[in-house]
Amino acid sequence: MEGRYQSNKPMRKILQRRPFSPFYLAVLFTLILLGIDFCVTSLLRNPQQQIIYSDVVSPLIDVLACAALFIAAKQSFAQSRQLGIAWGLIAFSALVFALGDITWAILELGLSEPPFPSLADAFYLLYYPLVLAGVLLLPEKPATRGEQIKKVLDVGIVMFAALLGFWNFLMGPLFSSKADYPILQQVILLAYPVGDLVLLWALLRILYRRSDQQEENDVPAFLLAISFAVTIVADYIYTYQAFVGTYVSGGLVDISWRAGILLTSLAGIAQVTAIRSSKSSLAFLIRRARAITPYFPYVWLIAAFIILMRSSTYSMYMDFQSLSLAVGVIIGLVLPRQTRFLHNCEI
């Protein structure tokens, strides 16, 4: 008996050193919730049932996310005022998104009125500047002049290439085809792609951000970046489907939005966990993500070239000369960045 007790002692010490974090329970809960969400949406064949399910579930998930983010903001104030304000703005962005979903549900289910365009769009569009403001306020280590220039060039390359793609495949065709629509509806339709570009800016800000925390404590911002990526994809699909008239409320696009807001709530829970503990086993994901960020400009340059080549066989909103000039601007941004990389000196 004594030998058995002694043999279990090391295991007991390990368990005491590494208590099970509530964050991992939240991850498990999120995965289960998304699995149930996907199964229910797939099993419901009646479109009206899908709409009712989506309009009821989405605000409930939004409320859970708001609670997690406001708790994260309150806890963050204990560390620093700036960090607390940053997470407070992110929490308010989730709140206005929730108000958009609630308004959408009231109009679609309660009043049987078309939810687009409506007051719901005002709430949805307010989400983008609020979340960007929160991300921009996240504390960052001071960078050297060379590091600042490199970051500006990298972000500029990605944003310009993304704008080129959005304009030719979505914003331009949308603008030209809806020219006879009321001006308010045109503005709202074009505002969503602009909002996605704002989200992309926030995502890049996180990836290129020099955190003032230990790498293990930067998991919350990393999860925010993933949630932004999911939301951008969902928004793009929605805008395209709305453009061609194939969007139906309650489908897979709605699941993507719910996945995005759940990831945002996970970021809030991770922030609370990071405040209470200084360790996270997800730090290796952050290291790998940051390891590939230097290659982003080249990927987006290739994407811009693909758009230019496709213009010879596919009708683009911009003509070949304008596209060539735009790609030339991107190359003009890549060259000084590559020069600094090769010579390892400040520009």
Note the pLDDT tens digit of each residue in 14-36.
434 444 577 888 889 999 999 99
Over residues 222-234, mean pLDDT: 93
pLDDT per position as a tens digit, 48-65: 899 999 999 999 999 999
Dihedral (CA of 69, 72, 77, 82) sign:
negative
The pLDDT of residue 175 is 76
- 157 within 8 A of 301, measured Cβ to Cβ: yes
The pLDDT of residue 103 is 96
The pLDDT of residue 209 is 83
The residues spanned by each domain of the chain are 21-144+178-293
Residue 142 clears pLDDT 90, i.e. is over it: no
Residue 183 clears pLDDT 90, i.e. is over it: no
Where does residue 86 rank: exposed (0-12), middle (13-18), buried (19+ CB within 10 A)? Answer: buried
pTM of the complete model: 0.86
The pLDDT of residue 16 is 45
- 300 within 8 A of 308, measured Cβ to Cβ: no
Measured between alpha carbons, how far is 62 from 72 in angstroms, rounded to an integer? 15
| Of the candidate ranges 26-30, 78-82, 120-124, 317-321, the one whose mean pLDDT is the lowest | 317-321
Over residues 116-126, mean pLDDT: 91
Identity of the amino acid at 196: D
Highest mean pLDDT: which range of 49-63, 173-187, 307-321: 49-63
Average pLDDT in the chain? 84
Torsion of CA 232, 233, 238, 239, to 10 degrees: 60
